[in-house]
Amino acid sequence: MSAHIAEADSSSDNIIIGRDGERSHSPDSQSSPLIPVGQAVQIVTVDPETREFVLDEEALESILLSEQRKDRPVSVVSIAGDFRKGKSFLLNFLLRYMSSKGYENGDEWLMGDKDIPLKGFSWRGGSERDTTGILMWSEPFIVPLEKTTPNGHKETAVLLMDTQGAFDSEYTVKDSATVFALSTMTSSVQVFNVLHNLQEDNLQVLQTFTEYGRLALEETDETPFQNLVFLIRDWSFAYEHDYGLEGGNKLLEKKLIVNEKQPQQLQRVRKHIRSCFESIKCFLMPHPGKIVATNPKFDGRIADIDEDFLQHLQAFVPLLLSPRDLVIKKISGSAVTGRQLLEYFKVYINVFKGEAMPEPKSMLEATAEANNRAAVAMARDFYTTRMEEACGGNKPYIHPKQLERQHADLLVAALDLFEKTPKMGGREYSETYLSELRTCIQDTWAHFEAQNNSKNVFSLLGAPAVLLVWSLICFIIGRIFEFVGIMIVSNLFMSFGTFSLCFTIAYMFCR
């Protein structure tokens, strides 16, 4: 799907839900089964002051605790990916399929009336964000299962979720990771919406976001998430891989293959993604057509969409929502009901608010941090090595003034080495690490200064040692003069020695 079509201003005006829970239907909602009953309800919002994601428990309870859902197992289909890539637009076709019971009525869900505008989740063309937080469709879709569950359930309640797009100018990497992780943790099928091709940066973003979710779950041996479906929009290389599931899976195998010739980083990304999901598939979609991409008045009418796109849409949507392919949400191997899913949402949102979760970083930030820290380590090692050569443990005592000059010279040299080392992130980013380097060197200098002082015998023993040494010197000189017969000088030195010894004894006694 074209990037020009991304999320559209076609809010659901066919039903109004009041604060008291009463529903009133507009005439449009009665006119065609292709117009869905219900509305998109915001269940996760962004606090404008704290920038935290907040769960609207009342809104979520109104959906999950309805009689049709609270004790039935749920199947949760969510779409995530970069912003302005048509996630909400596509989700409305899933909504149309469920509203018209496409799993019973064949192609009529899509081809019945080609002039009905696309209704449901808010969407619009253009470059500005339309969806924020996480939304869920309000009305229940109860679908019969092909096989009865171990608990005796013959039906599942299907939930459709829409998420805000990742990587726009208003939200951080942590915001994007939180939304994606929360969506993946609570869904049974996560559709990862990608434009044009499945590229290495898509895989690395997926690794970052799923790792964030895996940390939040604190699971050990179990596969943390269920099904992942890569949806490649506007696929332009049908001569290499055909549109649809078969061509998509061939592309996916090629992209996720692991071999010994790959760098370790690329191998880790692929192994991580495979280990995080029970099932991974890929579907290739053609471009929806010129009118969709360029007409600002396009409102989702089937008549304006290319036949090729519609044909593959008819194959893709049932792949997610037909009774044969529906995936029940499971946690720790047990089917989750609407009542239980509500509790999981409450727990998960609190985990992401807590301080235990690390800050996920973009690839640039992670790389910049790594090479700045490497530069700090190199400069610190340079300083330490040179100081060891000057005043290490096996070196003699150095006068403090001389040692301070040595420290000052090596500090300048170490800081200069850090500055000259090529680093990503720019000077402003490096200032933090420059300050860290200064602190490290000051701590190391304090160690060397203390080590040097410990080698100073007079400093170690203090005034009594000085006086004792002076007394010994005086006695020796006095004996020498006595030996040569100069008694006056001998007696003088012996008196100095005796006085110094007495003074030392008195000093020590007083102390």
Residues 211-265 pLDDT 10s: 877 777 765 567 889 999 999 999 999 999 999 999 999 999 999 999 888 888 8
CA separation for the pair 174, 355 (Å, rounded): 13
**Pairing between β-strand 134-137 and β-strand 141-144 as defined by DSSP bridges:** unpaired
Task: Give residue 355's pLDDT.
Answer: 67
3-state secondary structure 64-114: HCCCCCCCCEEEEEEEEEECCCCHHHHHHHHHHHHHCCHHHHCCHHHHCCC
**Residue-wise pLDDT tens digits, 165-214:** 654 556 677 788 888 888 998 999 999 999 999 988 888 888 888 887 77
Task: Give residue 124's pLDDT.
Answer: 56
Shortest CA distance to 313 belongs to which of 334, 336, 344, 283? 283
**Residue-wise pLDDT tens digits, 117-174:** 888 887 654 444 445 789 999 988 999 988 888 888 889 999 999 987 654 556 677 7
**Residue-wise pLDDT tens digits, 429-466:** 788 899 999 999 999 999 998 888 877 755 545 566 67
Angle between helix 487-510 and helix 463-484 axes, rounded to 10 deg? 160
3-state secondary structure 157-173: EEEEEEECCECCCCCCH
Distance of CA 10 to the CA centre of its chain: 32
Task: Give residue 383's pLDDT.
Answer: 94
Percentage of the chain lying above the pLDDT 90 cut: 34
Percentage of the chain lying above the pLDDT 70 cut: 83
**Residue-wise pLDDT tens digits, 51-80:** 788 999 999 999 999 988 889 999 999 998
Shortest CA distance to 211 belongs to which of 166, 277, 264? 277
Read off the DSSP letter of residue 54. E
CA separation for the pair 129, 82 (Å, rounded): 10
Mean pLDDT of the chain: 81
Architecture of the 3-356 domain: 3-Layer(aba) Sandwich (3.40)
**Pairing between β-strand 74-81 and β-strand 134-137 as defined by DSSP bridges:** unpaired
Architecture of the 364-455 domain: Up-down Bundle (1.20)
CA separation for the pair 229, 281 (Å, rounded): 5
Q: Is the pTM of this model over 0.75?
A: no
> Domain locations in the chain?
3-356, 364-455, 459-510
Read off the DSSP letter of residue 48. T
CB 281 within 8 A of CB 248: yes
Task: Give residue 394's pLDDT.
Answer: 82
Task: Give residue 418's pLDDT.
Answer: 92
CA separation for the pair 387, 407 (Å, rounded): 7
Amino acid at 414: A
CA separation for the pair 208, 181 (Å, rounded): 10
At a CB cut-off of 8 Å and minimum separation 6, what does 347 contact? Answer: none
